[in-house]
Amino acid sequence: MTDSEKSRGDLTTEKQNPLSADLDTLSTIEILTVINNEDSAIADRVKEAIPEIEKTVEITTEAIQNGNRIFYIGAGTSGRLGVLDASEMPPTFSVPQNWFTGIIAGGDDAIRKSIEGAEDKPENAEKDLMEAGLSAGDVLIGISTSGAAAYVMAAIELAKSNNANTVYLICNPEPYLDADADIIIRVDVGPEVITGSTRMKAGTATKLVLNMISTATMVKLGKVYGNLMVDLMAVNDKLVDRGTRIIAQLTDLDYEDAKSALFKADKSVKKAVVMVKKNCSLEEAEKTLEEAGGAIRKLLNSD
Residues labelled as active-site residues: 88, 119
3-state secondary structure of 170: strand
Written as one letter, the residue type at 98 is N
In angstroms, the CA 202 to CA 170 distance is: 9
Is the Cβ–Cβ distance between 89 and 119 less than 8 Å? no
Written as one letter, the residue type at 79 is G
3-state secondary structure of 10: helix
In degrees to the nearest 10, what's the CA dihedral of 152, 153, 159, 163? 150
Q: State CA 192 to chain mean position distance.
A: 22
Written as one letter, the residue type at 14 is E
Is the Cβ–Cβ distance between 72 and 82 less than 8 Å? yes
